């Protein structure tokens, strides 16, 4: 079943976020994920904790989402994202 991840990023370092955006898509594709909505043009309507970006990711299954997050080969890329922003990732199953 299709599974989504809603990712919000409260930006700490915009330069590191730009670096992450250059490599994040390739890391996502490794586990059959794709950005479904959002990205650099995201506009936050309320930003209680600072400049915020967001993206909705789509995976074929929850297992693919978990594999993306837990992949040791992607640890440096995930660390770059975490250095760039305070990140929240919500796992959201598709509604049947």
pLDDT tens, residue by residue, 26-63: 999 999 999 988 876 788 888 888 888 899 999 999 99
Contacts of residue 23, Cβ cutoff 8 Å, sequence gap at least 6: 77, 80
* pTM (predicted TM-score): 0.85
Mean pLDDT to the nearest integer, 1-27: 93
* Per-residue pLDDT at 44: 85
**Coil, strand, or helix at residue 28?**
helix
- pLDDT band for position 66 (cuts 50, 70, 90): very high
Domain 3-93 bears CATH identifier 3.30.70.100: yes
The structure tokens 């040791």 sit at 72
Number of H helices, E strands in the chain: 3, 4
Residue 10, classed as helix, strand or coil, is: strand
Tell whether the torsion through CA atoms of 10, 12, 15 and 21 is positive or negative: negative
């Amino acid at each position: 079943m299709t599974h989504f991840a809603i990712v919000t990023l409260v930006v700490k370092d915009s330069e590191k976020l730009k670096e992450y955006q250059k490599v994040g898509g390739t890391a996502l594709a490794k586990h059959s994920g794709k950005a479904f909505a959002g990205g650099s043009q995201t506009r936050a309507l309320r930003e209680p904790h600072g400049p915020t970006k967001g993206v909705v990711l789509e995976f074929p299954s929850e297992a693919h989402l978990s594999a993306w997050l837990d992949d040791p080969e992607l640890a440096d890329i995930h660390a770059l994202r975490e250095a760039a922003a305070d990140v929240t990732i919500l796992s959201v199953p598709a509604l049947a």
